[in-house]
Chains A and B, each alone.
Chain A
């Protein structure tokens, strides 16, 4: 018998390598609950440009195909028009997460239940399996996330939280999904030596940490987990091999090596320039 009755997995982010990542995400979550409900939200363009710089549109079929192939329950999905804040990863991601959260809340109200646990992650993520198979339930106002980095001198003394994956209760997910309403405080940054760094001002990891602190949410990142670390799957990853059989550093090397002439404007979260493909 599974540990939980019903959980929600929210897949929100720029559409990149979902056909590759889907298999591994489904495997990861399949035994976590009696029923695993998926929600999928993305923009209407593929986040990885073609070699000639052109951009493909996201269609219903590319989202739905893996769900049909693996027989998984997709409760709802949305393909959205961009919101115009293309240089700010925090707000782009927060908007997608908010819409996905709304779909989850609609389902909870419609069927009169509350999810036992909710995961928000992206649809291009691979989670390396950890030492523990089960989840310790998150309490209210607590998230489990891989990375919390405090006072790291390399990062100029700012604390941040990785934004690739977090698990929480349903209500705490509602709080987290509300982060689109958060407005960054320019003065906070003006008082630091980071004034010359626009990247720090826009950086999603720092903003997420600041929001979490404001809402008094605790982050559990230590101890045994069902995943050790994670990577974003890039198109240069070998699809002919099982990622589970590869050591972490091999995939990490592929991640680090990935690069295209058009990549920077898509993957550089702190770019002060808007993406110019619309």
Chain B
């Protein structure tokens, strides 16, 4: 599997996954999505998945994801989270084209109004945009069932 990881954490935490590239998520979704598309369309390196990692990924979490990912079509619009999105942005996996659109949502017209519609005391701005993306673009958000619970 060709994987790109975006994280603020120490890249050494993720070498186990042999990623094609680790991008610092300090750059924000916007710049990560540009770098991701550069890898795919300029460098012509096929990428199967993006892992957005805010926390360490344990081996069992990764194995749970691996057990299902082979059944996911390449054009799947599903975002696989490790925690319900309502609990905040934790680690998630998605196909690169999904991340591309997440990375460009900053330019949506009426953004403040949209964010207001999804406002709760729990959800971060990014989480609200992801929920909106799910509503408007047809993305699905699924929490991967884990054996760790």
Q: Which A residues are within 8 Å of any B CB, using their own CB?
A: 95, 98-99, 102, 105-106, 108-109, 114, 139-141, 169-171, 174-175, 178, 180-183, 214-216
Contacts and interface: CB of A to CB of B under 8 A. Distances in A.
A86 B67 CA distance: 35
15 contacts: A98-B37, A99-B41, A102-B38, A102-B42, A105-B37, A105-B104, A109-B31, A170-B107, A171-B107, A174-B100, A175-B101, A180-B97, A181-B75, A182-B75, A183-B73
Contact of A139 (B30, B34, B109): B109
A250 to B, nearest CB: 40
Nearest to A101: B37
B148 interface: no
Contact of B74 (A106, A114, A178, A183): A183
A85 to B, nearest CB: 13
- Tell me what chain A mostly uses at the interface: helix, strand, loop, or mixed: helix
Contact of B107 (A95, A114, A214): A114
A178 B100 contact: yes
Contact of B138 (A139, A140, A178, A214): A214
Contacts of B75: 181-183
B128 interface: no
Interface string B87-105: 0000000011100110011
A181 B136 CA distance: 18
Contact of A216 (B31, B34, B136): B136
A118 B144 CA distance: 38
B66 interface: no
Contacts of A98: 37, 41
A114 B33 CA distance: 16
Given A106-B34, A181-B95, A183-B73, A95 B41 contact: yes
A214 B136 CA distance: 11
B34 A102 contact: yes
A174 B136 CA distance: 14
B110 interface: yes
A83 to B, nearest CB: 8
B117 interface: no
Contacts of B97: 178, 180-181
Interface string B33-72: 1100110011000000000000000000000000000000
Nearest to A178: B97
A171 B103 CA distance: 10
